Structure 1
Amino acid sequence: MNKNMPIGIDDFKELREGYYFVDKSRFIKQLIDGHSKVTLLTRPRRFGKTLTLSMLDWFFSLQKKEMSRHLFRDLDIETAGETYMEQRGGYPVLFVTFKDLKDLTWKQMVNSLRLLISDWCVANDKVMACPAIDPELKQRFLNLKRCQGNLSEMQRSLALLMTLLKTAFGRPVILLIDEYDTPIQQAWEGGFYKECITFMKQLLGSALKGNENLHFSIMTGVLRIAKESIFSDLNNLDVCSVMSDNYADIIGFTAAEVKKMAYDLGKKDALDDIKTWYDGYRFGHCEIYNPWSVINFFRNGQVGDYWVNTSGNGILRILLQRADAERTASLQGLLQGNTETVTLNERVIYSDIGSDKSALYTLLLTTGYLTISQASPIRRNRYELRIPNKEIKDIYGREILNYLAQGLRADNFDDLFDYLFRGDVERFTQSLQHILR
């Protein structure tokens, strides 16, 4: 057993060959047993979405068939039987990610998209050797590969690549799309939201809607973007959010998996601390630990705020800037261990966040800052929310104080932090009012 912790390892092959591995290959069996045409898995950042798609890529990819057999030896999918293993290497796979699209202007993002699409073409360049491919389609491919495609050609790039793969290999394509909403969130923060939504709607719609070259698609992201109609025309979409029981235990670590890790790595005495700091999430009815933070704990041998540096918590600062006094007070109450009862709306759009209470709390839930404590037994979509664990409580405290007390000296900030976490609301309020005068 390899005890190296896979910090930042997103490639399934690299992880299997050199690091400690938590077996999630049952997901492959579930997909083979029955899948929707298009499935969207929404989970917080750094919970293992990219690695999950990489596992599917290495298993199903016809292009990687000769290199993948040993990667699944003795895993759940192999023990499930030869019927399942016969599916290995059975389809051309197109695996794309948008996780690095974080440009500050639309012009910059178009340039980044042009380079990204070129990379997709380079990675699939071997299809050009197929004599059955139409010369006109080859020319479009070459335009995109050389970064010479216009905006319309770029919007059709995924559909074009799927056509070429289907022609070259004679089988429909499995399309894996990672972090589809990263550019959308970035566009929202940067003020070019409308342009980005329009582009992504055409890019994804042409690939996913009524495409005879598609076998099935798995997409990942943090948030479902619905009302702008990016998916409104897609009637074959199955959304598996943090509120859904479907695939609830696939992304993130279960309690049993964390317990096995602790015993394997000689840290069973630390299980209570790990639970206090990194447990507390509920996906569907499944208890889930933050995998990024758990892995960092086992690597460093001590608890700490690991997720805060990687999770893109700038979104929390923006939410706080747009929150009114009532919502700011409720967020402070959450720090004292209170719950907040709200109506959630998974069909949220970013532009609603400043005015729609359900949008604010839905986004805090899907991004990992809150989790469901319990559902209302009598009202649909009504839930009690809470802060999941000590790590997130620390993040909340510091971000809320950063917003409320910008420009404070470090000692004043630390005093406020201490009052807030001790629950000394009176001294916290008095001190904050005195400082802000």
Structure 2
Amino acid sequence: MLVTGRKLPIGIQTFEDIRNDGYLYVDKTALMWTIANIGKPFFLSRPRRFGKSLLISTFEAYFKGRRELFTGFAVEELKKKWEEHPVLHLDLNARKYTTPADLDAILNQHLERWEAVYGEEKRDRASEERFAYVIRRASEQTGKGVVVLVDEYDKPLLQAIQNEPLLESYRSTLKAFYGVLKSADRYLRFAFLTGVTKFSQVSVFSDLNQLNSQTERHYQVIIYLIFKLMGQFTQAEVHSSRGRADAVVKTPKFVYVFEFKLKGTAGQTLQQIEEKGYTLPYAAEGRQVIKVGVEFSAEKRNVERWMVEEEK
């Protein structure tokens, strides 16, 4: 029989409630911190009841600078400077969508709430125009990049899957709305969208093509997550006196120092590790230090080549 003084957070989707009410929480904040610091637009597709809403809520607390909610968690050590960013949280999960007016109503509800804080655009403007205005105003008023969080981006589409005219109406509205994230990129600090199904880019995200852009950091986070799933202790962007290593993995007998290149060769990555002295902090630990240079291919979206060299 399991005996515990902590409550299980069954059905709890708000990070603040979990922390303030003493629920159990498995610390995933190191992964959250990595995602929050490797780029702007992210899309997460997972089935329902897989923790997407809780992750969105955790991001919201993080970007609002709620440090007190993260006491004792990994992110408390990773985050050196806590700042509050304006957060625009769009939740499409709490409504049934049977007509185009239903989608318009939920977008208008969120827009009115944001406009009450950051200023109002003319009400006769389209929802995407008002959205763009709110993002710009929020950034200008606070001097900070705006964080946009969208929970269940595809719920209206899923509910109209057997009604082609209604589906096309929803698709058109959401395509224009989400497309603002591309035009407003300079005002954004971070954008994260979750959903159940990944619709083709042509249907919804053709105006938001940077969701599929391949950057060096995109590959870094994939490698980092693989190591974490393997149970390896992994440090990302480890600073030294002359630069920072992309990743460091430690085992009882070895220290692996990684450098990644999207536009460069595996040989160049090894050269950078050597020239920048990324391995120096581990010379006195008594473990074998191994340098790993990894070259990615944007065309293949995979590892193109890697080179390994033992520190002598």
- Give me the TM-score of the superposition, normalised by structure 2: 0.62
Once the 2 structures are TM-superposed, how far is the Cα of residue 198 of structure 1 from its aligned partner?
0.4
- Counterpart position of 2:117: 126
Range with greater deviation from structure 2 (19-28 or 100-109): 100-109
The whole-number CA distance in structure 2 between the counterparts of 1:21 and 1:219 is 22
Report 1:17-166 matches (<5 A): 17-18=20-21, 19-35=23-39, 37-61=40-64, 65=65, 68-80=66-78, 84-86=79-81, 88-121=82-115, 125-128=116-119, 138=120, 140=121, 149-150=123-124, 152-166=125-139
Code of the residue aligned with 1:127 in structure 2: it is Y
The whole-number CA distance in structure 1 between the counterparts of 2:200 and 2:114 is 26
Code of the residue aligned with 1:71 in structure 2: it is L
**Structure whose alpha-carbon radius of gyration is higher:** 1
The whole-number CA distance in structure 1 between the counterparts of 2:63 and 2:103 is 31
Once the 2 structures are TM-superposed, how far is the Cα of residue 74 of structure 1 from its aligned partner?
0.9
Identity of aligned residues (%): 27
Report 1:16-415 matches (<5 A): 16-18=19-21, 19-35=23-39, 37-61=40-64, 65=65, 68-80=66-78, 84-86=79-81, 88-121=82-115, 125-128=116-119, 138=120, 140=121, 149-150=123-124, 152-191=125-164, 192-209=166-183, 211-238=185-212, 245=222
Unaligned stretches of 5+ residues in structure 1: 129-137, 144-148, 257-379, 381-437
Once the 2 structures are TM-superposed, how far is the Cα of residue 112 of structure 1 from its aligned partner?
3.7
Tell me if the contact between 1:166 and 1:213 (Cα under 8 Å) persists in the aligned partners: yes
Tell me if the contact between 1:43 and 1:221 (Cα under 8 Å) persists in the aligned partners: yes
The total of aligned residue pairs comes to: 219
SS in 1 for 2:117: helix
Code of the residue aligned with 1:158 in structure 2: it is F
Q: Cα–Cα, structure 1 residues 109 and 237, in superposed 2: closer, same or farther, change >3 Å?
A: closer
Once the 2 structures are TM-superposed, how far is the Cα of residue 238 of structure 1 from its aligned partner?
4.1
The whole-number CA distance in structure 2 between the counterparts of 1:3 and 1:204 is 40
Q: Cα–Cα, structure 1 residues 24 and 104, in superposed 2: closer, same or farther, change >3 Å?
A: same
Tell me if the contact between 1:42 and 1:224 (Cα under 8 Å) persists in the aligned partners: yes
- Give me the TM-score of the superposition, normalised by structure 1: 0.45
Once the 2 structures are TM-superposed, how far is the Cα of residue 196 of structure 1 from its aligned partner?
0.5
- Counterpart position of 1:384: none
The whole-number CA distance in structure 2 between the counterparts of 1:32 and 1:110 is 30
Q: What is the RMSD of the two structures over their aligned residues, measured on CA atoms?
A: 2.9
Q: Which deviations, in whole Å up to 9, do the C-alpha atoms of 1:319-343 show, x marking residues without a partner?
A: xxxxxxxxxxxxxxxxxxxxxxxxx
Q: Which deviations, in whole Å up to 9, do the C-alpha atoms of 1:250-290 show, x marking residues without a partner?
A: xxxx798xxxxxxxxxxxxxxxxxxxxxxxxxxxxxxxxxx
More strand by share: 2
Q: Cα–Cα, structure 1 residues 78 and 206, in superposed 2: closer, same or farther, change >3 Å?
A: same
Tell me if the contact between 2:86 and 2:138 (Cα under 8 Å) persists in the aligned partners: yes
Q: Cα–Cα, structure 1 residues 8 and 255, in superposed 2: closer, same or farther, change >3 Å?
A: farther
Tell me if the contact between 1:96 and 1:120 (Cα under 8 Å) persists in the aligned partners: no
Q: Cα–Cα, structure 1 residues 232 and 72, in superposed 2: closer, same or farther, change >3 Å?
A: same
The whole-number CA distance in structure 2 between the counterparts of 1:94 and 1:108 is 20
Once the 2 structures are TM-superposed, how far is the Cα of residue 233 of structure 1 from its aligned partner?
3.2
The whole-number CA distance in structure 2 between the counterparts of 1:2 and 1:85 is 32
Code of the residue aligned with 2:77 in structure 1: it is T
More helix by share: 1
Once the 2 structures are TM-superposed, how far is the Cα of residue 190 of structure 1 from its aligned partner?
4.6
Tell me if the contact between 2:127 and 2:177 (Cα under 8 Å) persists in the aligned partners: yes
